[in-house]
Amino acid sequence: MVHQFIEKAENLNVGYFDQDDHFHDECGVFGVFSPDSRENVANYIYYGLFALQHRGQESAGMAINDGGKIAVHKDVGMVADVFTDRILKEARGSIGIGHVRYATTGAGGPVNAQPLSVNMRNCHIALAHNGNLVNHEALREMLEDSGVVFQTSIDTEAMVNIFARGLRHGLVESIQRMVEIIKGAYALVITTEDKLIGVRDPFGLRPLVIGKKGADYFLASESCALDAVGATLVRDVEPGEIIIVGRDGVETYGQKHWVGKRSCIFEQIYFARPDSIMEGRSVYLARHMAGRILARESAVEADVVIGVPDSGLPAAIGYAEESGIPYGIGLIKNKYSGRTFISPTQALREQGVRLKLNPLRETIRDKRVVVIDDSIVRGTTSKRLVNTLRDGGAKAVHFRVSSPPVKHTCHFGIDTPERRELIASKKSVEEIRELIGADTLAFLSLEGLNLSAGGGDAFCRACFDGVYPMAVPVLDD
């Protein structure tokens, strides 16, 4: 049966409809277990999700477990808007999970917000998910054929149903059976009865860490969320590992089949907060090193190095230090400008871009400027950025990118365009340079990226080299 699901999944046609010119954040998950039944963990979840807000701004939710009875509160909007003081004060429970969402599978709206909960005959469960299942449609079809009625359009609901159906075999067995069936990238936090559970996919594509504060345990997408609640990072959850936290402590289980680490390298480049630790490595230092290597690979004579806020700044500092060219703040980001791609007309979208990033003329006027960005997707934002710098008085604009050219679509929870919309899949570096209007253009090499991230083969780099860790749907070029 598992092979039938995979065969169906390979024929899926997954579409990405986001029209912005950057990769978009995935989702963030958070979980907490307190052995003190009097503890109210809602505040922990609130602060944890607030720290993970960069991973998803569409909706937020939490499920609080009070002696096996789970109350879910979720809605569209930011964490601070969804969870009012009244909601946090009224919440009761010593176990809980939370989620912030950026949609990659399924539409938006409150119905698709997470966590999802299921009432069963003998228990109540809730589950939240970061990632993407590539065989979601096949799983959904199978479950619908067996009588399941879906309430949402997200792949998380298929996982909840598969997990719930298998519970008659026992908690660990039900998770292991689910992992055999589902295919893709995922980090899960689950609460059922008196347990907090964490599950990471067999390749470790999506991040998940475990932390501790006193007797309380935490699960989170990034270690910055542990910092927000005063917890200490214990370690990363291993690929394929099942973490079960209960009153007797922490139990860990593996999968029945082969697992191997292929963590998403774009977490290091862009998605994770720079103050997070991932796979035992500082995200800031990885980006800083990428900038230093980029300077070695693509030196140029210039007067100032600037970074594109926020993810381009550590690489820009590294580039400046390695090259000896002074670092300066050349672009000011308005963090309250909203997302430009939702504007209804091109004129308004362009105005939105100017609101987002404004040149600091005192830094760039009459200067040869090296500008560092984390990636180029379609090229439209890069072109506007070059124009912005020239309008601000830059004498020359040397564009440097702290990652290799993005040539392939991600299928594992990062919202990327179809391959035909990725500029690097169709154009050479010189053609891209001409399109964006830069004086020079250079990308970090794949070898340089591997070195900055810590080396080895423990990363998925499919968006750069097209080598996926598993079979994926074939998209039209």
Q: Which of 9, 12, 14, 27 is catalytic?
A: 27
Distance CA 53, CA 409 (A): 24
Q: Give the residue among 134, 124, 118 at the shortest CA–CA distance from 195.
A: 124
374 is in an annotated binding site: yes
> What is the β-pairing status of strands 396-401 and 368-373?
parallel
Has 27 been annotated as catalytic?
yes
Q: What residues does 65 pair with on adjacent strands?
A: 70, 95
Are the beta carbons of 305 and 329 closer than 8 angstroms?
A: no
Distance CA 389, CA 371 (A): 9
Are the beta carbons of 56 and 187 closer than 8 angstroms?
A: no
460 is in an annotated binding site: yes
216 is in an annotated binding site: no
410 is in an annotated binding site: yes
25 is in an annotated binding site: no
Is residue 404 helix, strand or coil? coil
Question: What tokens does 380 get?
Answer: 């439209």
> What is the β-pairing status of strands 396-401 and 440-443?
parallel
Distance CA 101, CA 110 (A): 11
Dihedral of CA 184/187/191/197: which sign?
Answer: positive
Beta-carbon contacts of 145 under 8 Å, excluding residues fewer than 6 positions away, are none
What are the binding residues for Mg(2+)?
311, 373-374
The residues annotated with a catalytic role in the active site are 27
Which residues are annotated as part of the binding site for [4Fe-4S] cluster? 264, 410, 460, 463
